[in-house]
Amino acid sequence: MEIETIEMGEKKARFVIRDTSPAMANALRRALVNKVPKMAIDTVEFHLGSMRDEEGKEYESKTPLFDEIIAHRLGLLPVPTDLSLYTYKDKCVCGGEGCPNCTIIYSLVKSGPCTVLSSDMVPLGDPNLAICDPDIPILELGDGQSVMIYAHAVLGTAENHAKWQAASGVGYKYMPVITVKSSKRAQEIADSCPRGVFTVSASGDLGVEKPLDCMLCDSCVEVDGGESVEVVGDETSFVFSFETDGSLSAETMILKACEVISEGAKAFSESVDAL
Ligand SMILES: [Zn+2]
């Protein structure tokens, strides 16, 4: 299998994989979606009662939302994850008690009126562990209302809950192979393509400018029943794309997904040998 990068951003990747099979492309998709671990908030403690600010004003620890809804929203915040630092809580040396190797603790203390944002989640210890996107709204507090929360983030995978899913929009398509046989109806064919794949030169020749943008819709083929253009999907090459929520970089996700597939294949092979 060969990988050719088209775009590799911090949170977005687009690449071509060649000399492989649809099964392998799907294995990579599945690994990216639910096998790559990330940190996510799993436990939330709400502190009840009244609070006083520095000026002596009293606030009631209550919010317009149910605690469960707030906890769910906190679970979906992108927590920065260094996979070399963290381990699963149940496999940690602390025996599942919670320690810096397996848990990140955030505190949230806020009084209204205000909008509580993800930037209000303060990590205990390293400030680099602040939530990746600071502008995610969590809840609205009215005058006299306040929240005091301690939230614990742990490592997990989306096999257990979607909050541990770092990749979104994971998809692939067969590599389009476009052959131009005639330029007789060049302009008509170029205009028929919704993705602007074709160009028409000054001399009227039909050219393929952006083959990777082709979505195999066959609009160009339908113009003259395939007399001018032939479009097929190469079943051994795939154009792959996905985005991350920011907790892991796109590159780290690809490397980890490949590692997971490789480990799975090795474990399977060992099981077969044992039989
Ligand atoms: Zn631990």
Written as one string, the DSSP assignment of 45-95 is EEPPSEEE-TT--EEES--SS-HHHHHHHHHTS-----TTT---GGGSTTT
For the segment 212-254, what is each residue's pLDDT rounded down to a tens digit? Answer: 999 999 999 999 888 999 999 999 999 999 999 999 999 999 9
Q: How far is the CA of 93 from the centre of ligand 1 (A)?
A: 6
Residue 187 CA, ligand 1 centroid: distance in Å: 64
How high is the pLDDT of residue 170? 95
Q: How far is the CA of 98 from the centre of ligand 1 (A)?
A: 4
Q: How far is the CA of 88 from the centre of ligand 1 (A)?
A: 8
Which one of 3.40.50.620, 3.90.320.10, 2.40.50.100, 3.30.1360.10 gives the CATH number of domain 2-35+171-242?
Answer: 3.30.1360.10
Neighbours of 41 (CB within 10 A): 24
Centre of ligand 1 to C-alpha 67, Å, is 26
pLDDT of residue 88: 95
Q: What is the pLDDT of residue 11?
A: 94
Using CB atoms within 10 Å of the CB of residue 133, give its burial: 0 to 12 exposed, 13 to 18 middle, 19+ buried: middle
Strand-pairing partners, residue 239, are 16, 173
- Of 22, 36, 8, 120, nearest in space to 73 by CA: 120
CB 239 within 8 A of CB 72: no
C-alpha 153 to ligand 1 mean position (Å): 12
Of all residues in the chain, what percent carry a pLDDT higher than 90?
A: 83
pLDDT band at residue 2 under the 50/70/90 scheme: confident
Token pair for 184? 């007789």
pLDDT digits (tens, 9 = 90+) for 23-36: 999 999 999 999 99
Domains of the chain, residue spans: 2-35+171-242, 38-164
Distance CA 86, CA 99 (A): 10
Mean pLDDT, rounded, for 50-72: 85
Interatomic CA distance for residues 180 and 20, integer angstroms = 26
Kindly report the pTM of this predicted structure: 0.84
The rounded Å distance from CA 165 to ligand 1 centre is 21
Cα of 43 from ligand 1 centre, angstroms: 15
> Which long-range contacts (C-beta less than 8 Å, at least 24 apart) are formed by 49-55?
51/109, 51/111, 51/146, 51/148, 53/111
**Structure-token pair, residue 107:** 């505190």
CATH topology of domain 38-164: RNA Polymerase Alpha Subunit; Chain A, domain 2 (2.170.120)
Q: How confident is the model at residue 125 (pLDDT cuts 50, 70, 90)?
A: confident
pLDDT at 70: 95
- Indicate whether 52 pLDDT > 90: no
Please write the tens of the pLDDT for every residue from 103-115: 999 999 998 799 9
Q: Are 145 and 62 in contact (CB under 8 A)?
A: yes
Q: Compute, in angstroms, the gap from residue 91 CA to the centroid of ligand 1.
A: 8
Report pLDDT for 57: 81
Does position 53 have pLDDT exceeding 80, yes or no? no
Q: Predicted confidence band at 48 (pLDDT cuts at 50, 70, 90)?
A: confident
Residue 121 in tokens: 């989640």
What strand order describes the sheet that includes 103-111? 38-46, 146-156, 103-111, 122-123
Is the pLDDT score of 58 beyond 90?
A: no
48's tokens? 């009840």
> For 191-208, how does the pLDDT look when each residue is reduced to its tens digit (9 = 90+)?
999 999 999 999 999 999
Residue 85 pLDDT class (50, 70, 90 cuts)? very high
Q: Tell me: the pLDDT tens digits for 147-180? A: 999 999 999 999 999 999 999 999 999 999 999 9
Q: Could you tell me the sign of the dihedral formed by the alpha carbons of 47, 53, 56, 58, in that order? A: negative
Size of the chain, expressed as the number of residues it contains: 275
> How far does the centroid of ligand 1 lie from the alpha carbon of residue 100, in Å?
6
